[in-house]
């Protein structure tokens, strides 16, 4: 007998056994489907087995579903919380900015009230205004003032602090004005020596000091004497302090008098704007002399 025939004869018992096992399994399933399950009068034994096997799977699926749902809810809540936190931070920053601005405005108003009270002795005070910027270069001494034509200011208006004269407005915008300080080399004002009553012209030296010119060599002026505005230049009113004499020396025709300014030019924060002189008929140029 050939090898192939032997293999066929040997394979038949195995196939027969497999077939027998399948038939027996089928019979068991059929009987199980018909036999009532224990404790389940309306269910078969097969159904009981299926339910027993599927119950853990169902519980696992249910647990997984609950976990996924919880994770999704937690993620959504996390994103919502982040958005809410971002919104609250923005709102807090806006409130902080508003509070800062309010405090700054109240502080500015308090400073101006104190300035107006301290400057009660100055003539014809119109208003107080903040100093935004002080510029000093190449002999020029100017300042930006935080008020303009919307507040009723006009070019030529003198500015001062309670300690003394500061300068005048030369250009006026809607809300900001430029002022020429008395320290500017092109600025000038009529001045008077309080002790002797002698008149002269006060000029800036561009370096933070003042010079009193046109005082005769016969004058009895001395260091420490007070200098005030004379009111003869058509710009500045009379009687506003300007400074005190630092030194006096004799020149060829007039005395050379150096004056320390009364106004604290190095720390100007607010100024008082005075009413302009009636002699000022129109706008004053930004770079011309402020006096005779």
The full DSSP string for 128-164 is EEEEEEEEEETTEEEEEES--GGGT--TT-EEEETTE
Tell me which of 145 and 37 has the higher pLDDT.
Answer: 145
* pLDDT averaged over every residue in the chain: 80
pLDDT at position 237: 93
Q: Which tokens is 244 given?
A: 């005190």
β-partners of residue 136 are 141
Instruction: Say whether 264 sits in a helix, a strand or coil.
Output: coil
Kindly list the distances between the CA atom of residue 45 and the CA atoms of 27, 42, 55, 108, 206, in Å, as whole numbers in the listed order. Answer: 13, 10, 15, 93, 113
Measured in degrees and rounded to the nearest 5, phi and psi for residue 31 equal: -65, -40
pLDDT level of residue 93 (50, 70, 90 thresholds): confident
Q: Which tokens is 139 given?
A: 């002999």
Nearest to 288 by CA among 153, 156, 114: 156
pLDDT at position 45: 57
How many residues in the chain? 292
- For domain 125-274, the question of CATH label 2.40.10.340 is answered with yes
Q: Are the CB atoms for 34 and 44 separated by under 8 Å? A: yes
pLDDT at position 98: 73
Q: Residues 49-63: pLDDT tens digits?
A: 665 666 677 677 777
Q: Which tokens is 274 given?
A: 């005075």
- Whether pLDDT at 5 is above 60: no
Considering 3-7, 41-45, 118-122, the range whose residues carry the highest mean pLDDT is 118-122
Q: What percent of the chain has pLDDT over 70?
A: 71
The conformation of residue 121, written as its DSSP 8-state character, comes to G
- Whether pLDDT at 257 is above 90: yes
Q: Residues 103-133: pLDDT tens digits?
A: 766 666 666 667 667 677 888 899 999 999 9
Which residues have C-beta within 8 Å of that of residue 292, sequence separation ≥ 6? Answer: 188, 190, 201, 232, 233
Average pLDDT (254-273) is 94
CB atoms within 10 A of CB 207: 10
- Whether pLDDT at 282 is above 90: no
pLDDT at position 37: 52
- Whether pLDDT at 195 is above 80: yes
- Whether pLDDT at 254 is above 90: yes
pLDDT level of residue 279 (50, 70, 90 thresholds): low
pLDDT at position 235: 93
The two most distant CA atoms of the chain are separated, in Å, by: 160
- Whether pLDDT at 284 is above 50: no
Nearest to 256 by CA among 287, 291, 210: 210
pLDDT level of residue 283 (50, 70, 90 thresholds): very low
CA 149 – CA 12 distance, rounded (Å):
118
Tell me which of 56 and 90 has the higher pLDDT.
Answer: 90
């Amino acid at each position: 007998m050939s090898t192939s025939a032997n293999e066929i004869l040997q394979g038949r018992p195995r196939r027969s056994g497999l077939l027998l096992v399948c038939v027996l399994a089928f019979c068991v399933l059929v009987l199980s489907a018909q036999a009532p399950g224990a404790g389940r009068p309306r269910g078969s034994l097969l159904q009981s087995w299926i339910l027993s096997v599927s119950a853990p799977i169902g519980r696992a699926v249910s647990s997984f579903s609950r976990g996924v749902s919880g994770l999704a809810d937690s993620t959504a809540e996390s994103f919502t919380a982040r958005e809410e936190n971002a919104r609250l931070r923005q709102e807090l920053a806006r409130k902080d900015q508003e509070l800062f601005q309010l405090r700054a405005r109240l502080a500015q108003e308090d400073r101006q009230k104190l300035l107006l009270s301290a400057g009660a002795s100055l003539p014809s005070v119109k208003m107080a205004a903040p100093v935004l910027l002080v510029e000093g270069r190449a002999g020029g001494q100017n300042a930006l003032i935080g008020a303009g034509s919307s507040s009723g200011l006009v070019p030529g208006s003198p500015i001062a602090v309670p300690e003394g004269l500061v300068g005048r407005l030369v250009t006026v915008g809607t809300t900001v004005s430029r002022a020429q300080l008395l320290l500017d080399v092109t600025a000038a004002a009529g001045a008077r020596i309080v002790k002797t009553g002698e008149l002269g012209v006060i000029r800036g030296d561009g370096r933070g000091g003042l010079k009193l010119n046109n005082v005769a060599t016969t004058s009895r002026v001395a260091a420490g004497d007070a200098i005030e505005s004379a009111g003869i230049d058509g710009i500045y009113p009379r009687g506003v302090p300007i400074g005190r004499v630092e030194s006096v020396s004799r020149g060829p025709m007039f005395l050379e008098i150096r004056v320390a300014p009364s106004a604290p030019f190095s720390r100007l924060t607010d100024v008082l704007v005075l009413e302009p002189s009636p002699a000022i008929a129109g706008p004053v140029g930004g770079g011309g002399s402020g006096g005779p």
